[in-house]
Chain A
Amino acid sequence: MIKDLMGFVLRAVVVLSGTALATFVLLWHAPGDPAQAIAMARFDALLTEDVIDQVREEAGLNAGFWTAFRAWVGPLLTLDFGRSAVTGRAVWPDLLVAIRYMLPLALAGLAIGLAISLSLAIVAVKRPGGWLDRFAIAIASLGTAIPAYWLGLLLILLFAVHLAWLPAMGARTPEHVILPALTLGLGVAASLTRIIRSGILEARGQSFLPAIRRRGVSSRGIDRDHIAPHAAIPVVTVFGLELAFLLEGVVMVEVIFGRPGLGTFLVTAIHARDFPQVQAVIVLTALMFVTVNLLIDVVYRVIDPRIGARDA
């Protein structure tokens, strides 16, 4: 257990420092003049060279790569993301506001994705190869093929423009979360449906099941004790990857639906070359990934203790 924990901490340190370094290098070497972008974002006007030089000085951009990196990494060790190069405000409070907007969207998207994929998969495996099964696979394939930005626009067109049932933009009321969450959820459902479906079908093929069934164990008992845990293993794996997809989707969906949130925060920061803000989002995302992976590891071991035993 202690060995496992140390392994996790070591992996987390490697991933986080690797991500921090990579982001910094990429941002530093991105084409264009960061000082100009920051100055444009800060003053929202055409600027003279003097002003741009002043911004360069303030943002620490002329100190050289390593000096700038050290100046950023030092406070980061205490989870201090510094101050925005554009607004001069501390990054944390603004980031928290963005997360507060993003979380309901991400959770609603995930819930919709799970609900749709579970129901579709369960309907599909009732008769594998039947028309419902083929219909479910077709829907899932279609869902995978449609990118979020297009699906989002289609949903806006239908529900906001033609039917006028739901708002298209903003985040004022709970209703505002429905369309973006649906866009996210349909994407999640597309890939999860196929995984859950094949997981259930594989679980049904386990060699010991027919004899247990003949022995009088109810279908419900078999589903609960033998099918669901077995089918859950690949689903948990994909679920981890799905969270990556979800974050990527959140960025896209927030921009399409004009919602404040982590995605909008990140995109605005990238445009303005606001290094501290961009890096804060990236490091936080990496931290989230490492944590989710740890949780998945734990869940694996609960479902299938052989996994822990094999590693030991």
Chain B
Amino acid sequence: MLRVDQVTVKRGSSFALEDISLSLAPGRTLAVVGESGAGKSTLIVTILGLVKPWKGDITWAGDSVTSCAPALVMQEPRAAFNPLLSLHRSVMEPMAARKEVASSERIARLCDGLELSRDIFDRRPGEVSVGQAQRAAIFRALIAAPTLVLLDEPLSALDAVTQKHTAKLIADLQREEGFAALIVTHDLGYAMAHADEIAVLKSGRIEEISHPEIFAKAPRSDYCRKLRDAAVALGALEISE
């Protein structure tokens, strides 16, 4: 289980994250939503250990998060790959690190689910579209049966149909393999549909962590209500009575 315990991250004299506590069990999905600059991506890089918390602890099953070899899907998909290597080399790196070879069934399933044609793997990151790079990044995150997956805006560069298929693939694999997923997203509709819990972040603090239905029906703060109402107005969210 991922445990983030009273974590505070300083940026200069202010706080990028303040007193964040949350937990995420295997097989569960936590969606982190909130305005730009709220600290969502900072939370991901802090969990990954790239930013050292000023205060607090982050553990996976009582050990450091690195021990579970967490998979990351970065917000900038092209920057997530070595520009000099073919995508094939890059996406298979987690397998190579485990000295294993991906089965052809696994590759086929991921390619089908992500609607990726295999020939793009011969290309380099600069030779594919941002959407293709994003799906390749998801492919890399999922290829080696991860235990913890951190996804930063994983669907942002995809069209609606591909978004739907990609979200379904992630959910299906998670059901079968039981990895924990932390998803940072602006898409409340996606968060509502796939997350077990939603965490709302504002100015580096958690405003609310609750079940999606509770969040939709009775947001706990003014900001959460505003966020929900905006999503409803945009048609991203429907509230059933």
Spell out A's residues near B (CB within 8 Å): 206-208, 210-212, 214-218, 221, 225-226, 229-230, 303-306, 309
Is the beta-carbon distance between A214 and B76 smaller than 8 angstroms?
no
Q: Of B24-32, B64-72, B106-114, B207-215, which stretch is located at the interface? A: B64-72
Query: Which of B49, B89, B93, B124 has its CB near the most chain A CB atoms (within 10 A)?
Result: B93
Q: Counting CB contacts under 8 A, is B22 at the interface?
A: no
From B50, B70, B74, B79, A215 is in contact (CB under 8 Å) with B70
Alpha-carbon distance between A103 and B193 when the two chains are bound, in angstroms = 71
Is the beta-carbon distance between A208 and B126 smaller than 8 angstroms?
no
Nearest-neighbour CB distance to chain B for A168, whole angstroms, equals 47
Q: Which residues of A contact B49 (CB under 8 A)?
A: 214
Is the beta-carbon distance between A212 and B79 smaller than 8 angstroms?
no
Is the beta-carbon distance between B81 and A215 smaller than 8 angstroms?
no
Q: Among residues 24 to 66 in chain B, which have CB atoms less than 8 Å away from a CB atom of chain A?
A: 48-50, 65-66
Nearest-neighbour CB distance to chain B for A272, whole angstroms, equals 51
Q: Which residues of A contact B70 (CB under 8 A)?
A: 214-215
Q: Counting CB contacts under 8 A, is B85 at the interface?
A: yes
Number of A-B contacts (CB under 8 A): 65
Q: Which residues of B contact A226 (CB under 8 A)?
A: 82, 85
Alpha-carbon distance between A304 and B50 when the two chains are bound, in angstroms = 28
Is the beta-carbon distance between B69 and A207 smaller than 8 angstroms?
no
Is the beta-carbon distance between B82 and A208 smaller than 8 angstroms?
yes
Question: Known: A208-B79, A210-B50, A221-B97. Contact between A215 and B85, CB under 8 A?
Answer: no
Alpha-carbon distance between A225 and B80 when the two chains are bound, in angstroms = 15
The contact size tier of chain B is 20 to 34
Spell out B's residues near A (CB within 8 Å): 48-50, 65-66, 69-72, 74, 76, 79-85, 89, 93-94, 96-98, 124, 126-127, 144
Q: Which residues of A contact B93 (CB under 8 A)?
A: 212, 215, 217, 221, 225
Is the beta-carbon distance between A208 and B74 smaller than 8 angstroms?
yes
Alpha-carbon distance between A195 and B5 when the two chains are bound, in angstroms = 44
Given contact pairs A207-B74, A211-B48, A218-B97, a sample of 8 additional A-B residue pairs in the complex whose CB atoms are under 8 Å apart = A206-B82, A207-B80, A208-B79, A215-B94, A215-B144, A225-B93, A305-B124, A306-B126
From B48, B65, B69, B85, A216 is in contact (CB under 8 Å) with B69
From B66, B79, B124, B144, A214 is in contact (CB under 8 Å) with B66
Nearest-neighbour CB distance to chain A for B41, whole angstroms, equals 12
Q: Which residues of B contact A217 (CB under 8 A)?
A: 93-94, 96-97
Is the beta-carbon distance between A211 and B84 smaller than 8 angstroms?
no
Is the beta-carbon distance between A225 and B82 smaller than 8 angstroms?
yes
Q: Which residues of B contact A303 (CB under 8 A)?
A: 84
Alpha-carbon distance between A215 and B50 when the two chains are bound, in angstroms = 13
Q: Which residues of B contact A305 (CB under 8 A)?
A: 84, 124
Nearest-neighbour CB distance to chain B for A97, whole angstroms, equals 44
Q: Which residues of A contact B83 (CB under 8 A)?
A: 304, 306
Residue of B nearest to A232 (CB): B84
The 5 closest A-B pairs by CB, nearest first: A216-B69, A211-B72, A217-B97, A216-B97, A207-B79
Q: Which residues of B contact A211 (CB under 8 A)?
A: 48, 72, 74, 80
Residue of A nearest to B82 (CB): A226
